[in-house]
Amino acid sequence: MEKRDNKKYRFIIIFSVFLILEIALIIFLFSFFSSPVVGYSNETVRVQTLLNVINVAPEVLTVVITNASNSYTNMNITPNPGTFKNVYCNGIVRDLDNSTYLSNVTAYLFQNSTSVFAGDDNNTHYTNSTCFMNTTVYNPTYGDDANGNYTANYSCLFIVQYYANPGYWNCTVTTANILNLNTTNTNVSGINELMAVTLPPTLNYGNVNSTYVSNENITNVSNAGNVMINLSLQGYSVYIGDGNAMNCSRGSVRNISIMYEKYNLTESNPSVSSLTQLETLYANLTSASVIKAFSLNYRQNDVYDDAINATYWRIYVPAGAAGTCSGNIVFGATKAAGSY
Tens-place pLDDT, residues 41-94: 668 899 999 999 888 999 999 999 999 999 999 999 999 999 999 999 999 999
- Is the pLDDT confidence value at 213 over 90? yes
Name the residue among 91, 117, 57 with its Cα closest to residue 173: 91
Residue 27 in any domain: the answer is no
Asked which of 135, 165, 191 is the last residue of a domain, the reply is 191
Q: Are residues 212 and 316 in the same domain?
A: yes
**Buried b vs exposed e over 190-213: b needs ≥16 C-beta within 10 Å?**
bbebbbbbbeeeebebeebeeeeb
Regarding whether 162 and 80 lie in a shared domain, the answer is yes
Answer whether residue 286 is part of any domain: yes
Q: Do 222 and 178 have their domain in common?
A: no
Question: Which CATH number fits the domain that encloses residue 327?
Answer: 2.60.40
pLDDT for residue 6 is more than 80: no
pTM across the whole model = 0.81
Question: Same domain for 178 and 276?
Answer: no
Residues 181 and 85 in one domain: yes
39 — phi, psi (to 5°)?
-120, 145
The whole-chain average pLDDT of the chain stands at 91
Q: Which of 80, 178, 160 is nearest to 123 (CA)?
A: 160
As a whole number of angstroms, the distance between CA 103 and CA 281 comes to 67
The pLDDT value given to residue 233: 98
Instruction: Give residue-wise pLDDT tens across range 12-41.
Output: 666 666 667 666 666 655 555 555 555 556
Last residue of a domain, one of 170, 191, 212: 191
Residues 109-136: tens digit of each pLDDT: 999 999 999 999 999 999 999 999 999 9
Residue at 47 is within a domain: no
- Statement to judge: residues 174 and 297 lie in one domain: no
Asked whether the beta carbons of 253 and 237 are under 8 A apart, the reply is no
Q: Which structural domain, as residue segments, surrounds residue 172?
A: 59-191
The number of distinct structural domains making up the chain is 2
Which pLDDT score, from 0 to 100, does residue 16 have?
A: 67
Tell me which of 191, 207, 233 is where a domain ends: 191
